[in-house]
Structure 1
C-alpha cells in the first residue's frame, strides 16, 4: 500500500506543479509537488468537504488535520479571517509548500506545523494541545485503521466543548464503519452531507471525548 504521502520525508523526486482551487467564495493558486497527497489536482473529497461544510467559527482556533499543501486550511483561513488556523501534517515537504502557499496567496492567519504520527510537534514552536473550535479534515484513510484511529483519537480529543469536526470520507473506503467506530469511542458522529460517493461526518467530543 502506497503511504509515501504519510512519510515524514517522502522519497519521490521533486516535480513542482501548480493547481487551482476555485470555489464560489475564493480562488487559490497552490504549489504542489510529488510525494504528497493528490499533487496533480485538488482531490474530489477535499472539494466536496469545502463545498458542503457550514461556515467556520468567525474567531477562535481552527485546525486542519493532514493539511498536505494547504487547500483546506487556507480555505478555512480565508473564510474566517478573524480566526487563527493551524494545519498539521507528518510530511515535511507538504508543510513547506503549505507555508509557501499561504504567503503566495496573502493568507496571514494560517500557520503550518510538522508533527509526528502520534500528534506530537516535530519541530520547535508552541504546543498543539488545543482546544480547537473547529476541525476540518480529509483524513488519511489509506494508512490503515491503527494509525488512522490513533490520529483521530488524538485530534478529536482536542476539540473544545462546543467545537465540531467535519471529516470527509469516501463511502467505499469505510465511511459508515468509521462513523460507528467514532460513536463507540465517545465521539458522536452524524452524516452531515453525502455527495459523489463521499460522506461528510460531523463529529463532537461527547461526554467521554
Structure 2
C-alpha cells in the first residue's frame, strides 16, 4: 500500500451530477419510516457508461493497481460501503453510508480478492458519522482501516525484506487482518520485489562506487 494523491486525477464531470441526483433520491427514501422504506429500497446502480469512465479515471489514479494490496485491479470499491456497514463487534449500521455512493472521494480501485474480503466491513473506533457527513469530518469516526488517499501507509505498516508486513499501529493491524496482507501469495511477491530492489541497488553501487565518507556526506 502506498500513498495516493487524490488531486492528481479529476473525477468525470458526469459523476457530480450523478452524486447530486442520488443524494436527493436516496435522501427521500431514508426520510421514510422503517416499514415504508422496506418497500422502497434504494436502487444502488451507476449507469454503465459512467461506471466505465469512473473505472478509467481510478485506473489512472491508482496506476491500475489495487489501493490495498497493489496487485492489478479493475473493481470499483467504496471505501465506506453503500449500506449495512459492519463493525468490529459485528454490529450492523444499516443506513451507512448511502450518501457516499457517488462521492468521488469514496471510490477506490481494488482487486477481486480485496473487494471480497472487505465486503461491507468498515471498522471504526468512534461514533458512526451522521448522514450527509462528508470529507475530513468523517475522520471523527476514527476509522480503523488505512486510507491510502488520506493516511501515510508507512506510518501504520512496515514491510520487511522477507515480504511480510507488520503493523505499527492498531489501524495497521486491523488493515492487515481484514485484507489478509500476509497471505502467502502477497508475501512471496513482495519478497521477490524486495530482492530485485536490493540487486538493483548493488548494481548501481558497482557502477558508481563512492567512499564511505562521501556516501555519508550525500545522505
Greater strand fraction, Structure 1 or Structure 2: 1
Compare CA radii of gyration and give the structure with the larger one.
Answer: 2
User: Same fold, TM exceeding 0.5?
Assistant: no
Give TM-score scaled by structure 2 length: 0.26
